[in-house]
Chain A
C-alpha cells in the first residue's frame, strides 16, 4: 500500500488549454473524491465516486470539468479551456465504504494557469 498518488505534482498551462490530472487511490478503496484548494482556504468538495459510478458533483464543477473512474480504480480529472481562476491545488482522496472510515489524501496537483 503506497497511499494515494497523484500525477503530475505541478502543472503550468496557458489559458485556454486543456489539462488532465490522474489519481491512483489506495488499492482496495471503493470511494474516491476530488477536492480543490486555493491559497489560504480549506479544500472544497468537487466530486465523488463509489467504485466507477460518479454519485455526486458540486456546483463548483462547471461543464468545463469532467471526472472519470472507468474501472473503479484510478481516476482522471480534466479541465477544458482553462481559465486563470482554475489555478489551485487539486486534491484526490480515497476511503473504504462505511459510516466510520477516514479518507486518505494524495499530495495534490498544483495547477497554475498563465
Chain B
C-alpha cells in the first residue's frame, strides 16, 4: 500500500479556495486516491476519489498529476464548516479495499 504525505496544518480565509496537497510517490497503477475529512469527534466523511483523471463533485475537485505521484484537493469556496482534518489515502485495489490512514492535514478556515 502506498504511503501518503501531507502537511500537518494549513490555514484558509473564509470564501477563498483551499488547496490541500498530497504526495503519493510510491502509488501503484491500480491504487485509487481517496480523500476523507473528519470534523472533531465525528466519523470520517467521504469527499472524493480518483484514479488518473481529475474529478469534481458537489463538495470538491481532485487534481491528480499525470505521473500520479501527487494530487491536490480543492475546496472552491471554503466555509467555517470546512474546518476539519483532511486525509489523503491511497487505497489498495485488492479484494479488501481497506484504507491505510496517515495523520492528515488539519485545515483551519478563518473568518
Seen from chain A, the residues whose Cβ lies within 8 Å of a Cβ on chain B are 4, 6, 31, 33, 35, 40-45, 48, 50, 55-56, 91, 93, 95, 99-108, 110
- Looking at chain B's contact residues, is the secondary structure mostly helix, strand, loop, or mixed? loop
Residues in B with CB closer than 8 Å to A40 are 103
Complex CA gap A1/B101 in Å reads 27
Interface residues on B, range: 20 to 34
Q: Pick 27 A–B contacts, CB within 8 A, sort by A.
A: A6-B43, A31-B97, A35-B101, A42-B87, A42-B102, A42-B104, A43-B99, A43-B101, A45-B99, A48-B96, A48-B98, A55-B95, A91-B44, A93-B44, A99-B30, A99-B93, A100-B32, A100-B49, A100-B51, A102-B46, A103-B97, A104-B46, A105-B43, A105-B46, A107-B42, A107-B43, A110-B41
User: Which one of A6, A33, A104, A110 contacts B98 once the chains associate, using CB atoms below 8 Å?
Assistant: A33
Residues in B with CB closer than 8 Å to A100 are 32, 49, 51
Is B100 in the interface zone, CB < 8 Å from A? yes
Q: Are B96 and A55 within 8 A (Cβ)?
A: yes
Complex CA gap A56/B30 in Å reads 20
Seen from chain B, the residues whose Cβ lies within 8 Å of a Cβ on chain A are 30, 32, 34, 36, 41-46, 49, 51, 87, 93, 95-104
Complex CA gap A34/B89 in Å reads 17
Residues in B with CB closer than 8 Å to A43 are 44, 99, 101
Q: Are B98 and A41 within 8 A (Cβ)?
A: no
Q: Are A56 and B97 within 8 A (Cβ)?
A: no
Complex CA gap A104/B97 in Å reads 13
Q: Are A102 and B103 within 8 A (Cβ)?
A: no
User: Which one of A41, A48, A101 contacts B103 once the chains associate, using CB atoms below 8 Å?
Assistant: A41
Complex CA gap A4/B99 in Å reads 17
Complex CA gap A108/B42 in Å reads 7
User: Which one of B34, B51, B87 contacts A102 once the chains associate, using CB atoms below 8 Å?
Assistant: B34
